[in-house]
Structure 1
């Protein structure tokens, strides 16, 4: 264990700051260090980890590789071998066996309604991958697959089982992430009876971008949202209106944004953007990662 670094020319950052800067939680950073040796942080006299700017850049490079579907073990080898340039290539190898291994085990757990096995897998994957990467490449694709095959035998039961499991784990991850000081607070709510998977993913992404999303489970009608939005805490709303939102619902949301002065971002499938824009509502893209960036930029006053 190293003592507190003495080099005055280097800046060192505690794990909390590094986690906030990179979007990788502290548990994952420690796992990368212990299991893969990706990081070798300095230590204070009391054993607290300290990271350099080079460490932060390395973590961001690893995250970029993970975002392309490359497993952590392969990302480590590519970095060690100098195969990763500053500008990562757009093309990636075929889907790695590590993800396939996880898919097979997760699918087996769902087919057998084994929530214990699914929970164990969720914890394992979350230790080695940022939550948005794990969701994008493993957990949400299975949810989409179950939606598409809901007419098969036991299809509805498996979809409901997995949706309940996944929503609970996503909500837990959202609640455990530290809130950034002074972060704009955002209402995240559902006006439909649809699952909250996409809403929770959006909330997790917004929190990674140092916003303060607050997820409300169940259904909140526009009138209830209007009452909630009158509290001075909120700066925006992200609302799921589904694919068959009535004109009455959209008109109520229009009144909400007019009276509150807060932007209302709308998740919808099948609705014409013009129908939303004409009411002052902001349609979110299918790419939720880009939508989260757009929300952050709007609330932060950033023009890129």
Structure 2
């Protein structure tokens, strides 16, 4: 009986200790709030390539990779997808937040659909580092220093299909071709004859001219000149100068006087005067003689013209000839 009672007490104590351990581990950050990362993805050259941003964002994945201070290896702490507008939201474990900050260096990285490797960052890794934004009653919110800029050329979304590889059947194996006659026979080239050069002409060496050497110069002996050493002149040292203490003079800084800047002067445009035009008197008009016009001759009287209808009878007779001038 005593053994069973001891086992029961030990089981109760272990259960209470387990509950306390789990509660302490869950509330490791002291407040039990969730840790959330919010950011925006930005397409760098979608406008230049005439691409729709919703297609460039589709299927892209954002991961939060963190590394401790004493370790250089990154570990993925959370992941999420970009929506049509490029926004993303990723939840992090609560044990990363402690004393009002993250205990690891965390960065946000983009991943394509087909490759597990992260996309190259345009602004560098430091632009995607997590920074603290705000705190509410339910969560701690972090953001990025800058937007996640990427290029659709190096970070391909799910909207763009990969290159289709055609599976053609293998080529048939044909028998080897028969050897060609005289294929490996090398025909010698005709020799190249060069015109022989003329025999070389040797010029005789010039006759050396020997000059008689000059006699050595006669040495001129000069007796040494001994100068007596100078007599030292002793000067009494001057007493050290008496230091004069001058108190420091502190000048107050001048009060800055703010002057309102004057408006720029209005340019006055003065047109250049034109030179005066000299007015010369017009010459007198010549007198034109009167022009007399002869009267026109009278018009001749023409007979009335009447033409018979050609359908009935003959053609109409021609009118009599009448001259216009008498």
TM-score computed with the length of structure 1 as normaliser: 0.17
Higher-Rg member (1/2): 2
TM-score normalised by structure 2 residue count: 0.16
Q: Give 1 or 2: higher strand fraction.
A: 2
Tell me which protein shows more helix as a share of its residues. Answer: 1
